[in-house]
Amino acid sequence: MLLAALGTFLCLPSLWAQGNQYLTAEAPEKLVAKRGTSAEAKIAVSIQPNFHVNSNTPSAAYLIPLKLTWTPGTLEPGEVVFPKPRMEKYEFSDEPLSVFTGDFNLIAKFKAPANASQGPGIMLGKLRYQACNNNSCFPPKTVEVRLPFQVQ
């Protein structure tokens, strides 16, 4: 009994992770930007094996795209560069779908305004995705991205 309780306790973190998020985003490295210049942050994203998420440009209007948005802050958000999506065929779809799988990077571009106050800060981002596997789909979810920065 004690063993089972211990095991359940030990097992929970991985089951929790599996049950709640199908995509994880690593905390990006600190972004250093000089006032009046642009800078870009790399965000490493990982999709659970056997799952996919729709790309930023899904194959159909009803599909929910991968989208990164930022809460207004010191830095001005610019373009988000996504990798080239994969076109994959699934059992449930007649046509290949534009998806991301596995590990990939997003590049988020920012501008530090000329009048930005110097010093450290954090930009808060939300990465919204909708995941499926071969026979099920899962409601859209959001992961938070915290980007530390230093304005010089």
Partner 1 sequence: MSIPRVGAVLLTGFVLGCVIYSWPSAKPVKAASLKPDAERHAAPDFALKDADGKTVRLSDYKGKVVLLDFWATYCGPCKIEIPWFMDFERKHKDQGFSVLGVSMDDDGWDAVKPFVNDIGINYRVMVGNDSTAEMYGGIEALPTTFLIDRDGKIAAVHVGLTSKSEIENGIEQLLQKPAGASGGAGHVSLPAEFVGAR
The residues that touch partner 1, with contacts defined as CB under 8 A, are: 2-12, 15, 19, 62-64, 90-93, 97, 130, 132, 135-140
Residue with Cβ nearer partner 1 (78 or 140)? 140
Residue type, 144: E
Q: In the numeric block, which tokens belong to residue 81? A: 């560069």
Return the biggest CA–CA distance within the chain.
64
In the complex, minimum distance from the CB of residue 131 to partner 1, in angstroms, rounded to a whole number? 10
Q: In the numeric block, which tokens belong to residue 133? A: 């596997």
In the complex, minimum distance from the CB of residue 8 to partner 1, in angstroms, rounded to a whole number? 4
In the complex, minimum distance from the CB of residue 19 to partner 1, in angstroms, rounded to a whole number? 6
In the complex, minimum distance from the CB of residue 112 to partner 1, in angstroms, rounded to a whole number? 35
Cα–Cα dist 22/18, whole Å: 7
H helices of the chain, in order, are 2-20
Sign of torsion over alpha carbons 104, 20, 147, 109: positive
Cα–Cα dist 38/72, whole Å: 16
